[in-house]
Amino acid sequence: MDDPKLGDLDAEPPEAQLLTVTVPPLAPAPGPLPISSSGAASSQPDQEDEYNDDNDRDSAYGESLQASDMASISSAITKFRYENGRRYHAYQDGAYWAPNDEVHNDQQDMAHHLWLLTFDNKLYLAPILNPHNVLDVGTGTGIWAIDMADAFPSATVTGIDLSPTQPTWIPPNCIFEVDDATLPWTFRPDSFDFIHIREMFGSVGNWDELFRQAYQTLKPGGFLECAEHSVTPVSDDGTVGPEHVFTRYGAIMTDLARKRGKEMDIWIRIKELMERAGFVDVVETRMKWPMNGWSSDPKMRDLGRWNQLRVTQGIEGFAMRMLTTVGGWSPLEVQILAAQIRTALKDRKVHGYLDVIVVYGRKPEASE
């Protein structure tokens, strides 16, 4: 059944005419965007418990600085940064490359629907049966964590993210915290049955350490599942060539992320990294998301139309901060590139798709 949101994507346009624009050469990377050293923080910090310690009161900086520090942390969590008409997280400013405004949040929820379609309406692929404690790393809008909490009402589902953009009306067994998963984790070892990571590409500097901490935090027998996708559309029939705007976009984003010490193409290495962290029974599943409804297969056509809508609405936000801050582009040049991509998305003679990968693995029992 056709979705009304996708109705305007059905018509196949005439031959797409891509705009041309002279873009600046990639500027030398200024290094990683500034990262706060304040550390991870809960979305509801307990000021009295945190600052009633005698050792803190004996600090050479005194109580006034402690109160100021607390105010700074709270401000960083609850306030946002605005650039080029888009809103970004302020806590650990620059650690994540995409916006957190309503436009991007709608795109994240759309991506969740795309994952559900991909998984045939399942929330995960790992063979877990009745988890008691679940952790969602990089929860975004919290939509996966909320669905998981509804699916397992006896479980406690915790979602962590840099942005406090999750809803307030949530299931009683769902918890959200503002935290940076790339910093040392504060969860007890052997405390979660299932850890879920999705679409963290371009945001993690040390994936080995991320998976090491996930391994340590899982109970023996627990599962880690990581779902990622490529940012560079490809084709099997040559219709996405080396000069196509899809290819150029993917190469630019991958190169700029690498200059910041991050990987946009991490999906290629997930299985290897999980096995290196100690996970066993690691299973990798590869899939495709068409860039529009070009496929004759009903499921693939549906996935393509949703992916087209997701990228059409989200492409400017995907590109803006990375290209302007790291690449030296002007906002107008980013908007022109986004317009080229939107035009290309309408061309069903181009059979482009994104590689999608899901990898899950088990922490072995102590007796293994």
- What is the domain-level CATH number for residue 173? 3.40.50.150
For residue 42, pLDDT beyond 90: no
pLDDT digits (tens, 9 = 90+) for 62-77: 333 344 433 444 445 5
pLDDT digits (tens, 9 = 90+) for 302-322: 999 999 999 998 898 888 888
For residue 353, pLDDT beyond 70: yes
In terms of domains, do 150 and 263 share one? yes
Count of domains observed in the chain: 2
Q: Are 201 and 228 contacting, i.e. CB atoms less than 8 angstroms apart?
A: yes
Q: Where are the beta strands (DSSP E) in the chain?
A: 80-83, 86-89, 133-137, 156-161, 174-178, 192-198, 218-229, 280-290, 353-362
Domain end residue (candidates: 47, 78, 109): 78
Q: Are 100 and 107 contacting, i.e. CB atoms less than 8 angstroms apart?
A: no
Mean pLDDT (whole number) for 44-59: 33
The boundaries of the domain holding residue 241 are 79-362
18 located within any domain: no
Q: Judging by DSSP bridges, how do beta strands 218-229 and 192-198 pair with one another? A: parallel
Domain end residue (candidates: 57, 78, 99): 78
In terms of domains, do 103 and 127 share one? yes
Farthest CA pair distance, the chain? 73
Q: Give the pLDDT of residue 6.
A: 59
138 located within any domain: yes
User: CA gyration radius for the chain?
Assistant: 21
For residue 20, pLDDT beyond 50: no
One-character DSSP codes across 219-284? EEEEEEEEEEE-SS-B-SSS-S-TTSHHHHHHHHHHHHHHHTT--TTGGGTHHHHHHHHT-EEEEE
